[in-house]
Structure 1
Amino acid sequence: MFIVKKHTHNNQLLLSIIDEDLIGKKIVEGKKELNLTSTFYAGEEMSKEEILNLIKKAVQLNVVGKKIVSFLEKEGHIEHVLEINDIPYALIVINKN
């Protein structure tokens, strides 16, 4: 399972999706930090199928974790992956045109 937080701005959906085991953690490497304790990531548990359906409505994805990044890479949603302290993450803008 994964944790998904829905954010809406100007009637557009942004999704924050993280591996369930990362919620509440801080990932630090030098000056880089992913603060997964913030409410930005505090969402609800969802399955892979639920996430794929929700992505169809989103314009941007913020994903963190080995499982979700690997899954979305295989589904063709991620082109470039970054890492902080061996934790992969990606920011994806979805072109709706």
Structure 2
Amino acid sequence: MASQAKVISTKLIGLLAIGARLVKVGYVDQTDAWRRVYLSPETQQKFKATTEKHLHTIKPETEEVALQETPHPSESDNRTHFTAVEIDGQGTVIAKRHFTVQ
């Protein structure tokens, strides 16, 4: 999948709390380069659990963390990781993250 693709839409997996703040957790289902027609419930739950471990590292303005790429290694990060995006309240991607898969 093209990691530089522009996010068009996401699907909600659930909500996580960080203090009094709620953060949506989801996955990208469409970009300007591709469309995801299915993401297994197992992958969804693994991403949600992994995101929960990293909630303390997200930007204060982040309203949603969305999986963009399923677990994989890459040249820039040879650990097996999810590629995720942080999205603000206007739907703008404000950060791209790698969350190591345990």
Q: What interval of TM-score do these two structures reach, taking the shorter chain for normalisation?
A: 0.3 to 0.5
Higher relative contact order (CA 8 A, sep 6+): 1
